[in-house]
């Protein structure tokens, strides 16, 4: 009987592109925060917050951009520092997996979904990118589940880490000063979009040179964006009319 052949080394090529959307989002958010600091110093009030924060009364007056723009303004250095760190940690990998345009769409829809839920269930003024960050976390959860066969050895630990992060942050969000409804909305928005539009990786090529190819069709990405926007848009309209 001949001995079994030695295991062959296989190279699996992962998507590799610079996450410039993630870096651009961080840069834009930090720039707006610097404007906040300058405004507080020279105008004695925070003009960006006054223009961009979620305010239910102003949204009902027609300032609908406030369902998106609160992700650009923050309540302090610790607030923006934590959110930008989370954006860097989740954004780099997700942008490489989703691609630049789809990742940006995910971020915007997560912010929108979170701010709609905040508009419906909280009355206070809200700021922060955590709505969009929770959208990324929700998309990470769906991405791992849908591609679990690609990374069988890492799946359990990775999915456990994401679930742990979700529960810890939602628990921390029970503090009176934190808008947890925004977190919940962002999470659901990210899950909803990624369920339709997230990458479905398939291994292609000839060993030992294999690569991951996204099998998701463009029309599914479009469907995911439309479904998420329509559902949360309808909730926003309901909130405006009630």
Average pLDDT, the chain: 91
Please state whether the peptide bond connecting residue 3 to the residue before it is cis, i.e. omega within 30 degrees of 0: no
Exactly one of 79, 118, 130, 157 is catalytic; name it.
130
- Domain boundaries along the sequence of the chain: 13-241
Exactly one of 118, 183, 195, 220 is catalytic; name it.
183
Annotated active-site residue 79? The verdict is no
pTM, two decimals, is 0.91
Q: Domain 13-241, what architecture? A: Up-down Bundle (1.20)
| 158-190 residue pLDDT tens | 889 888 888 888 888 777 778 999 999 999 999
Burial label, 97 (beta-carbon count in 10 A; 0-12, 13-18, 19+): buried
Annotated active-site residue 183? The verdict is yes
Q: Above pLDDT 70, what percent of the chain?
A: 93
A 10 A CB-CB count for 96 gives: 18
């Amino acid at each position: 009987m001949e001995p079994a052949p030695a295991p062959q080394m296989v190279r699996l090529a992962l998507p590799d592109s610079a996450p410039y959307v993630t870096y651009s989002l961080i840069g834009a958010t930090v720039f707006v925060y610097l404007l906040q600091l300058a405004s507080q110093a020279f105008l004695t009030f925070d003009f960006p917050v006054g223009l961009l924060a979620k305010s239910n009364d102003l949204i009902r007056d027609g300032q609908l951009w406030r369902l998106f723009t609160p992700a650009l303004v923050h309540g302090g250095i610790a607030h923006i520092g934590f959110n930008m760190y989370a954006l860097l940690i989740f954004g780099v990998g997700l942008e490489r997996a989703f691609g630049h345009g789809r990742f940006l769409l995910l971020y915007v829809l997560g912010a929108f979904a979170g701010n709609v839920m905040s508009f419906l269930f909280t009355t206070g003024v809200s700021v922060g990118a955590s709505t969009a960050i929770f959208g990324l976390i929700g998309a990470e959860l769906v991405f791992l589940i849908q591609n679990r066969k690609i990374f069988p050895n890492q799946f359990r630990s990775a999915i456990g880490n994401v679930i742990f992060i979700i529960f810890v942050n939602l628990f921390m969000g029970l503090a009176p000063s934190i808008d947890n409804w925004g977190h919940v909305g962002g999470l659901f928005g990210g899950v909803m979009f990624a369920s339709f539009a997230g990458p479905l990786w398939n291994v292609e090529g000839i060993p030992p040179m294999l690569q991951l190819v996204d099998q998701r069709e463009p029309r599914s990405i479009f469907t995911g964006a439309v479904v998420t926007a329509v559902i949360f848009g309808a909730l926003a309209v309901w909130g405006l009319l009630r």
